[in-house]
Amino acid sequence: MLRRIDSLLAAGGDVLLFRKPELYHMTALVNRHTQAPVRFVGGLSLVIRAFEDLYGNLEGKLLEALSRLFAQNVRIYVYPMTAADLREWLKSASVNGWEWNETNGWVSASELRRAPPLGHLFAYLLASNFLVPMRLPTEA
């Protein structure tokens, strides 16, 4: 994690590290302090968790959480995971319904699928570049 942060800082970016479980809170926090585009970076497990949480504290549940998260020029850059780690994480989190293809043992956000109707929303976020798959480690 620190190596990735150092790389972003070396490239001239500003970095804020946080561990808040509901990512949509961070959009509001960051947007209070900047008008610049907001870019979050996380792994596949973070994105899956964002789609699977119940958001019982929000009247609009998942749709409200996602609309708050992707408000005001926000993108999430999604790191790939190994297929083995993804399977293990899904099992430990008791999450079902996700499928994927893998490339050399790795799964990127663009290879991840969810059955409709939730899958339509996931596909829209990918196609609209709200979710941006990071390159697989095997790619140049």
From residue 23, give the alpha-carbon distance in Å to each of 7, 19, 40, 71, 129: 22, 9, 9, 12, 18
> Within 13 Å and on the Cβ side, how many CA atoms surround 75?
15
Q: Please answer whether residues 51 and 115 qualify as being in contact, where contact means their C-beta atoms are separated by less than 8 angstroms.
A: no
Please name the amino acid found at residue 128.
S
Least confident of 8-22, 39-53, 87-101, 109-123: 8-22
pLDDT at 33 over 70: yes
Run of H or E residues at 53? none
* Higher-pLDDT residue of 135, 126: 126
pLDDT at 102 over 90: yes
pTM of the predicted structure, to 2 decimals: 0.83
Provide the 8-state DSSP code for 103. Answer: B
pLDDT at 27 over 60: yes
